[in-house]
């Protein structure tokens, strides 16, 4: 960076399993707040992913390309968020909020992250009202039980999920 000019670099981390319209909304809006937004696709030991890390990276890259936002890049990571953010020269963590329950968890995480690196701020964005109920976990559950997920994901992601559900089988069948 040139002397005197501080770039706003944000990291929006998540598992994106799968990426939803809510995620896309936060990416689109978060990209307006920073010079560069790094969407960090991570693993989460407490989650059982439907898609591999490589599949999720490809899915997120495809969806961001469709958004047409030029200052966003997608990077996979499997490390402590604050270490990843520092490696990206980030000074902002972008987090999306859907409900009060999200806030409680995110507030705790922001406090822990501040203890690890006080130079990196956490910024919360409220999901668009029409997108607030959407959660990847629920999208997967609906799909696994044969429900329609079109209102929650892009047509391409809907197809990705349908192919995966066909491969692993629906719940309640058999």
Residues marked active site are found at 23, 47, 98, 136
Query: What gap in Å lies between CA 43 and CA 139, rounded to an integer?
Result: 18
**Are 164 and 50 spatial neighbours (Cβ–Cβ below 8 Å)?**
yes
CA angle 158, 93, 31 (to 5 degrees): 60
Give the burial class of 54: count Cβ atoms within 10 A of its Cβ; 0-12 exposed, 13-18 middle, 19 or more buried: exposed
């Amino acid at each position: 960076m040139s002397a005197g000019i501080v770039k706003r670099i944000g990291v929006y981390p998540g598992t994106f399993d799968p990426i939803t319209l809510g995620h896309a909304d936060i990416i689109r809006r978060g990209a307006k707040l920073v010079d560069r937004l790094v969407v960090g696709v991570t693993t989460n030991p407490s989650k059982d992913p439907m898609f591999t890390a490589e599949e999720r990276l490809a899915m997120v890259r495809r969806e961001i390309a469709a958004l047409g936002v030029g200052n966003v890049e997608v990077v996979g990571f499997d490390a402590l968020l604050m270490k990843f953010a520092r490696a990206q020269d980030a000074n902002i963590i972008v987090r999306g909020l859907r409900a009060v329950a999200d806030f409680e968890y995110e507030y705790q995480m922001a406090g822990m992250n501040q203890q690890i690196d006080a130079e990196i701020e956490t910024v919360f964005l409220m999901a668009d009202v029409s997108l607030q109920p959407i959660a990847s976990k629920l999208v997967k559950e609906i799909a696994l039980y044969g429900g329609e997920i079109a209102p929650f994901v892009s047509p391409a992601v809907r197809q990705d999920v349908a192919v995966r559900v066909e491969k692993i089988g629906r719940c309640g069948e058999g």
